[in-house]
Chains A and B, each alone.
Chain A
Amino acid sequence: MNKLVKRLGSSFLIIVIVTTMTFFLIRLMPGNPYQVMYHQFLMQGMNAQQAQDQVRSILNVSPNQPVWQQFIQWFTDLLHGSLGTSIQETGVPVTELIFNALPWTLVTVSIGLLLSFVIGIVLGVISATKRNSWLSGMIDNIGSIAHAVPAYVTAVALLYLFNVVWHIFPSSGAYGIMDTPGLNWSFISSFLYHMALPVSTYVLTGFGSWELAMKSTTITVINDDFMMAARLRGLTRQTQMRYLGWNSILPLFTGFMLSLGGMFGGSIFIEGTYSFPGIGALFATSIGSRDYPVMEGCFLLTTTTIILANVIADMFYTKLDPRIVD
């Protein structure tokens, strides 16, 4: 328990450091939205003081305020549970934007991640047990190619084939314009229909690395002495496969947990291509428009979830693998 408190404490510190660094880093990018708005007001004929007051009244930030002062204000707000308001969608709280986008991302990415993990594990075991056969070679090649092709290429290819050429799946959005989100069949079926291409893209780009990783750990375990012993002990085929499966999948567990943490960030490329209203798309738009508060909110979310996933993975690993003692 004491260990956990310590661990959470250091995680908190890392989160503070990372968000602080990103706060300053994003302000090194060319294009300061406060200055842009300030200059717009100047060009509209306001004098400097008026323009400055106008920006402050709209964005709650003085355009000429030093960055460190902005940081102190942002950090104080954060400690009070506020992430500020969006610049682009003026006045809308960042938390609201994030909570509106998060469910779409979480559902699609978790389905995509689980499917690609399961498919990768199964194919990896098949490839490892049928080593040196044409099947194994085919699985490995498909896995490597799927893994190597960038997500945005796969996304565009699927969009072209299944929307432009064959008109099977919709090109954008998370549900039909006639539906209202809720627990009704019309909405759920529309959501499933719209998520088909994004989820397929996650699976196609994701399963390859799991397949290759699972294959390599499985081959190592197959050649372990205890697997030979299990066979000569006459253990049933199911028991042998259980021994093989658990011992092979354990090393992949940390990676899986980190992917779970990473899924809160969604994918900028995939959600962007399909205009899917998730965190990835929100992130992409906020970067494009230099929407500092939204960017900071997204960074904070992804940093926190990945670091917490790491802590959880470490905690569970000691439960899953008896050889690891905390």
Chain B
Amino acid sequence: MATIVDVKDLSIVFQTEKGVVPAVNHVDFCVNQGESVGIVGESGSGKSTIAFGLFDSVPSPGKIESGEITYNGNLSIRDLEEEKKRQFYWSKISMVFQAAQNTLNPILRIQNQIEDIAKAHRMDKKKAVQKAIELFETMYLDAKRVLKAYPHELSGGMKQRVSIALALLLEPKLVVLDEPTTALDVISQAAVLQILDRVRKEKGISLVFITHDISVIAEIVDRVIVMYAGKIVETGPVQKIITNPSHPYTQGLIASIPPLVGDLQSTHGLQGQPADTLHLPQGCAFASRCRHVLARCHEKQPPTIQIDHQSEVACYLYEEGRSDSA
């Protein structure tokens, strides 16, 4: 399978008044063509920052400190000149933003905003609008009404679906979705995720879901990347992560999902506070909350350990000869 994007040793820092916050800390991952990947983590784990990092467009005061982001095996986005980058955006990689309700120009009708995208990417305006109508219809939107509407005339859920349709407008190779379903009710959530899944299979595009709620995307991602305090702590096939998580943090994350029916007592929240990214410890950032903590966890960062050919975990518990004690 061809690799769409390959991220190597990506570090993103935020220069704040209190100090330098390493939001993303030496992260490696890749996304293959047609693959659907979920990046999961709690608030402040750096998952949204990665989304902007993929565009080489981290909002100020954030800055990519090091790393390579390579598309299609040979295109390094960090070396791209501005105009080339502008053309690359949206036609090859697009995004559904976290606050999708606010990502439309408030004083322009949806149709004009579609035409602006078409103009910027040298696409015929009529064709673009036609394409948008088709996408709107698959998202159960009244296409005619939506085209003529100003953003404030649409509900939050409608704007979210418009935002998703716009992301698919130019049929990019990769769509990054930052909490794409948070503004939607459960029924439209399922519908939108089904549409995304169908489009992915039909067009062979790759999806990257960024979410704090693994249960929402479990059905439609192939692989999950779990992040904690700016680092990848575990990656693996979604089934494996859900049924047999390796990293103590992932185990806690899965255990904290409340069941649809049944006893709330059976869910366990993670103990302790999320990592303070301003003062990260020398060793594993999760060590202070970990139930299986070892002495060296506090001393040195754990290495990334290959569990099988699809799964990796960054934890001392799985070091050679120790896997029995996990």
Contact = CB atoms under 8 A, between A and B. Distances in A.
A270 B56 CA distance: 53
Interface stretch (A108-116, A208-216, A231-239): A231-239
A321 B86 contact: no
Q: Which of B59, B86, B166 has the most CB of A within 10 A?
A: B86
B120 A239 contact: yes
B256 interface: no
A256 interface: no
Interface string A228-259: 11111111110100010011001000000000
Nearest to B116: A239
A239 B59 CA distance: 20
A247 B97 contact: no
A226 B103 contact: yes
Nearest to B57: A232
B105 A323 contact: no
Given A235-B117, A239-B116, A226 B86 contact: no
A239 B119 contact: yes
Interface stretch (B87-95, B127-135, B139-147, B204-212): B87-95
Contacts of B116: 235, 239
Interface in B44-80: 55, 57, 59
Contacts of A237: 86
B88 A234 contact: yes
Interface in B100-126: 102-109, 116-117, 119-121
B63 to A, nearest CB: 15
- Interface of A: prevailing SS: helix
Nearest to A237: B86
A224 interface: yes
A243 B59 CA distance: 18
A247 B91 contact: no
Interface string A19-61: 0000000000000000000000000000000000000000000
A232 B95 contact: yes
B93 to A, nearest CB: 9
Contacts of A326: none
A237 B119 CA distance: 12
Contact of A226 (B88, B89, B104): B104
A66 interface: no
A233 B166 contact: yes
Query: How many B residues touch the partner, as a band?
Result: 20 to 34
Contacts of B57: 228, 231-232
A322 B120 contact: no
Interface in A242-281: 243, 246-247, 250
A228 B90 contact: no
The residue in A232, A246, A247, A250 that gathers the most chain B C-beta atoms within 10 A of its C-beta is: A232
A234 to B, nearest CB: 4
B232 to A, nearest CB: 24
Contacts of B166: 233
B99 interface: yes
A232 B86 CA distance: 8
Contacts of A232: 55, 57, 89-90, 94-95
A226 B116 CA distance: 13
Nearest to B153: A322
Contacts of B88: 234
Given A224-B102, A229-B97, A233-B166, A321 B107 contact: yes
Contacts of B97: 225, 228-229
A243 B150 contact: no
A246 B107 CA distance: 8
Contacts of B95: 232
10 tightest CB-CB pairs across the interface, nearest first?
A234-B89, A229-B103, A225-B102, A234-B90, A322-B150, A235-B120, A234-B86, A233-B90, A236-B120, A225-B103
10 contacts: A225-B102, A225-B103, A226-B106, A231-B57, A232-B89, A234-B89, A236-B86, A236-B119, A243-B105, A321-B107
